[in-house]
Amino acid sequence: MSDYTLVTGNPYTDDDLTTCSQSRGRQNEPAVAVDPRNTDVIVGSSNDYCPVFNADGTFLGLGDIWLGYYRSEDAGSSFTSSLVPGYQGDESPYAARSHVRTADSGDPVLAWDNHGRLFAGSESSADPEGTAKTFGDVWVATYQNPDGEGGTTTNDGKEFVRSLDVARGSAAPNLLGKFHDKTSLEVDRTGGPCDGNVYFAWARFTGGSSNGFNSSVYFSRSTDHGATFSAPMKLSQTVHDIQFPDIAVTGNGHVYVTYRQFADVHSHEPIDAIAYNKSTNCGATFSQPHVVQTFEPYDPTDLDLSGDVVGDCGDFASECQSGYTFMRGGTQVRSAADQRDASHDYVYIVYDPTIPGTEVPSGTSYGSITSEDLPARYHQDVGSESGIYFFRLDGSNDTHTTPTLISDTGGVGLQRFPDISIDLGSMHAIWWDSRNDPCYSPQRPLGNCPGGVTSASLDAYGAAGTSALTWSAAERLSDTSSNPNWEQFGGRSVPFGGDYIYLSSVGAFSYGVWTDWRNVVAGTDPREGAESDGADVRQCRAQNPDGSWGPDTCPWAGGLDQNIYGALTP
């Protein structure tokens, strides 16, 4: 449904909305935000690929992925699906309110203020003219209550007001120029002098150098409810090769930006670590980076058939020497703060590194361990187990508690992509977990059995904690395990599940979202002959006279049915 129709009741549709109502397309990298004024109102988002294909497999021709907007007014029992206005082909009256220059958009992040406004951040790239340019922009959209701050809170965050670019990349093709990515968003809800400020951070990558990519964290703020943003400010002055910024605002209005530092011989960073910058003046200026905790990461890698190190494996050009099929994903860092705790400068941090002592020879080219002793970043042939670690940082004196596992699986299963939220002293965490994987081994990637066959192996789990730093037993959120290694991307040759899952809470009420594959329809890939890795999806292809194969002509048949699921969390 168009947001215009959602707000006004006036009918509007277009080819994208019609296609998205029936295409069973892919969604990943979900975000979610619970309205602090009314927990019945929950808004979610994702990279939504629903308008990519026509039913016969031809491209719709109106762009690529775009940000979904999924709205619940009954505490998550049901959702109405929409798209953030401004997608290619949007001719609704709200389309003119979008001021972004790209044809696609993704990596959604969401946050509310205390006045009925919702903010959505994104990175975006493709040129609407169809050239090879990858602009690499980042932008923020604003939604409001159509009746103003005093309107019934059921309508909070419903009406699209605007979207605008906060930082623009260069027009170089294939990510070779300046490219912005890995966004984070938070709003001050403290009621103090910074109340209503919107804070936005991202990683800026510079490609094309002899040493590959160099990345830094940048930050911008809005003091007028998203109408304008400050010039981007580089935070990571003394730290290089970093990703995954996250923003936390403490009850006294201090702003913390945390991120992962990668070990990299080119940038002279000897270790993987969590670092942060702090602002005590509403995001106007920041401290120098502080390294707060080192770790041994869990970064799945393999060797492709040419011997190059790769972060995902599948078929054809994506085939790896191990024979495994797996999606990309490395150690993440996420942080949160209790904005209603004005007595402390506490930041609560989760991350998913290798559990020390679980390292084991993999017996193949697959590995998950980074070694600072090698000139290459990745050390092959060593697998390990990953876990969700938690600690609390006291930003007033740069000390922190000892990192501890939130949930110890006893050596059965990997734990990936954590998120954390805290409000009124009530902590909540979510993560992906493979403790129900019938083929689990630290020697192999997630969801891979001996011989390279994949299996249903992944669930979402959650736990609750208190400001006393104790956690409940983990609870399974998903009621069906799913296979994260379906080959749904790269012309049905490689899996992709995104780079995060998401959680939002108000007091003890918490809602989490994750990418889920339970609805995928399995199939065979005729291009592979008799081979099967258990990861092929439903597809329809005809062989050409020269022996090559045509495109998939039945993308709506369920092979691409990757979805976002959600649930109340502990």
Boundaries of every domain in the chain: 3-568
In angstroms, rounded to a whole number, what is the distance separating the alpha carbons of residues 201 and 121? 9
User: Is residue 187 predicted with pLDDT exceeding 50?
Assistant: yes
User: Is residue 319 predicted with pLDDT exceeding 50?
Assistant: yes
In angstroms, rounded to a whole number, what is the distance separating the alpha carbons of residues 135 and 125? 5
Express each pLDDT in 438-478 by its tens digit: 999 999 999 999 988 999 999 999 999 987 899 999 999 99
* Residue 372: band (very low, low, confident or very high) from pLDDT cuts 50, 70, 90: very low
* Residue 370: band (very low, low, confident or very high) from pLDDT cuts 50, 70, 90: low
* Residue 269: band (very low, low, confident or very high) from pLDDT cuts 50, 70, 90: low
* Residue 60: band (very low, low, confident or very high) from pLDDT cuts 50, 70, 90: confident
- Residue 145: count other Cβ atoms within 10 Å of its Cβ: 23
User: Is residue 210 predicted with pLDDT exceeding 50?
Assistant: no
User: Is residue 131 predicted with pLDDT exceeding 90?
Assistant: no
Torsional class of 543: left (φ above 0), alpha (ψ -120 to 50), beta (otherwise) = beta
Angle in degrees, CA 317, 561, 55, rounded to 5 = 85
In angstroms, rounded to a whole number, what is the distance separating the alpha carbons of residues 134 and 130? 10
Average of per-residue pLDDT across 428-435: 98
> What is the rounded average pLDDT for all residues in the chain?
93
Alpha-carbon torsion 188, 189, 190, 196, what sign? Answer: positive
- Strands 509-516 and 563-568, bridge-based pairing: antiparallel
Identity of the amino acid at 424: L
Average of per-residue pLDDT across 157-161: 98
User: Is residue 203 predicted with pLDDT exceeding 70?
Assistant: yes
Output DSSP code: residue 16. H
* Residue 266: band (very low, low, confident or very high) from pLDDT cuts 50, 70, 90: low
- The residue with tokens 């932008």 is 139
Bigger pLDDT: 371 vs 56 = 56
Express each pLDDT in 11-26 by its tens digit: 999 999 999 999 999 9
User: Is residue 378 predicted with pLDDT exceeding 80?
Assistant: no
What's the confidence (pLDDT) of residue 374? 42
What's the confidence (pLDDT) of residue 549? 96
User: Is residue 5 predicted with pLDDT exceeding 60?
Assistant: yes
What's the confidence (pLDDT) of residue 373? 41
Express each pLDDT in 505-533 by its tens digit: 999 999 999 999 999 999 999 999 866 77
What's the confidence (pLDDT) of residue 198? 98
Report the predicted TM-score, pTM, of the whole model to 2 decimal places.
0.96
- Residue 343: count other Cβ atoms within 10 Å of its Cβ: 9
What is the percentage of the chain residues whose pLDDT exceeds 90?
A: 85
User: Is residue 208 predicted with pLDDT exceeding 60?
Assistant: no
User: Is residue 230 predicted with pLDDT exceeding 80?
Assistant: yes
What's the confidence (pLDDT) of residue 380? 62
In angstroms, rounded to a whole number, what is the distance separating the alpha carbons of residues 113 and 349? 22
Residue 247 contacts residue 255 (beta carbons within 8 Å)? yes
Average of per-residue pLDDT across 322-346: 96
- Residue 522: count other Cβ atoms within 10 Å of its Cβ: 14
What is the percentage of the chain residues whose pLDDT exceeds 70?
A: 95
What's the confidence (pLDDT) of residue 128? 87
The per-residue DSSP string of 276-324 comes to EEEESSTTSS-PPPEEEEEE-----BEEBTTS-EES-B-SGGG-BTT--
Minimal CA–CA distance to 69: which of 88, 30, 43?
43
What's the confidence (pLDDT) of residue 242? 85
Residue 227 contacts residue 141 (beta carbons within 8 Å)? no
Identity of the amino acid at 569: T
Average of per-residue pLDDT across 107-133: 93
User: Is residue 260 predicted with pLDDT exceeding 80?
Assistant: yes
Average of per-residue pLDDT across 118-146: 92
- As assigned by CATH, the class of the 3-568 domain is mainly beta
User: Is residue 50 predicted with pLDDT exceeding 90?
Assistant: yes
Question: How many angstroms separate the Cα of 372 from the Cα of each of 265, 268, 295, 299, 353?
Answer: 8, 10, 11, 13, 15
Average of per-residue pLDDT across 39-45: 98
Range in 192-196, 253-257, 376-380 the model is least confident about: 376-380
User: Is residue 301 predicted with pLDDT exceeding 80?
Assistant: yes
- Strands 415-423 and 309-310, bridge-based pairing: unpaired
